Structure 1
Amino acid sequence: MSKRLLIVAHAPSQNTLALREAVERGARSETGIDVVVAAPLQAGPEDVLAAQAVILGTTENLGYMSGALKDFFDRSYYPVLERTQGLPCALYIRAGSDGTGTRRGVETILTGLRWRLVQEPMICRGPWQDSFVAQCEELGAAMAAGLAAGIF
């Protein structure tokens, strides 16, 4: 049975869509991994329960995560709480300023869920840089490779 990597990422602009597509491209570079991409408003607890790892992506909105990602957590938190402890996850943030409030907000929820960040959150900070795309592709590839190898 193949392992599923769920990507839940808010992509309200062309740049953030490019980041989400890069994460997906990187994840799909690994064979034997079922990659599912969902916008936060469409994803729900059933998607999380079917996954063996999750990549979360959000914009920085007023120093916090996007409302769409917060909505995903609001709808999914209690239905998955006792069933997904230790779930490997990664986070990337597209931050116009510094991203620390956004990171703190997501990490607080992940701590409550007892999900396990398998790498430092990636913050694409400041004015747009094309290097953000390559970094996101590497994030997707690393998560898929770790999942395929049974590292997490």
Structure 2
Amino acid sequence: MSDPPKRLLIVYHSQTGHTHAMAKAVLRGARRVQGVETHLKMALRAGLEDLLGAQALLLGTPENFGYMSGAMKNFLDRTYYPAQGQVNGLPYAVFISAGNDGTGALNSIERIARGYPFKPVCDPIIARGDVTTGILQQCEELGETMASGLAWGIF
């Protein structure tokens, strides 16, 4: 009997469509890898069951006022306490669409992720300004890397 497929959860929020484009690119890359189920969820629709069913997590957010989006914060707030002790070391990475430098959004996510505690496994991708084809290519590579890490048992 074969093991069930590993699950990669991509949770994102987008207002202008930039982060959505990045999330779709992450999804495209992840779906290149066999043996991994990839689920794309908007932050306000993702919940505890989604998080607990995942073996890896990608978080995508716009930078709003130097912070993550309210929807992403809402997802993290809703799942934080119920997930305690159940997601220790969950591999994760971040992608951000930023009007400024994106460091405030990144720092806020990293601070909360340490509390779960999640384990960072890939460098963040921050699109500063326009989401270029180069950024979308990086997002595809991020998705493929995360899915490959799951498929090969690296994470």
Task: State the TM-score bracket (shorter-chain normalisation).
Answer: over 0.9
Distance 1:13 1:147 in 2: 31
Count of residues in Structure 1 that have an aligned counterpart in Structure 2 = 152
Q: Is the 8 A contact 2:62 2:68 kept in 1?
A: yes
- Matched residue, 1:144: 147
**Aligned partner (choices 93, 98, 105) of residue 95 of structure 1:** 98
* Sequence identity (%): 50
TM-score (norm 1): 0.96
Residue identity opposite 2:42 in structure 1: A
Mapped contact 1:11–1:20 kept (Cα < 8 A): no
How big is the alpha-carbon RMSD for the aligned residues of Structure 1 and Structure 2? Answer: 1.0
- Structure 2 unmatched ranges of 5 or more: none
How far residue 147 of structure 1 moved from its aligned partner, in angstroms, is: 0.6
Deviations 1:44-82 (A, max 9, x none): 111010010000000000000000000001100001121
Counterpart Cα distance in 2 of 1:31 and 1:127:
31
The alpha-carbon deviation at position 16 of structure 1 amounts to: 2.3
Unaligned runs of 5+ in 1: none
Deviation beyond 3 Å, 4+ runs, structure 1 = none
Aligned to 2:33: 30
Q: Alignment partner for residue 56 of structure 1, among 43, 56, 59?
A: 59
Aligned to 1:65: 68
Amino acid at match of 2:82: P
CA distance in 1, matches of 2:10, 2:24: 10
TM-score (norm 2): 0.95
**Secondary structure of residue in 2 paired with 1:12:** coil
Aligned to 1:14: 17
Determine the C-alpha separation between the residues in 1 that align with 2:136 and 2:16: 14
Report if aligned partners of 2:13, 2:62 keep a CA contact under 8 Å in 1.
yes
Q: Give the equivalent residue in structure 2 for 1:117.
A: 120
CA distance in 1, matches of 2:107, 2:141: 23
Work out the CA distance in 2 between the residues paired with 1:55 and 1:124.
Answer: 15
**2:60 aligned counterpart, secondary structure:** strand
Is the Cα contact below 8 Å between 1:10 and 1:59 reproduced in 2?
A: yes
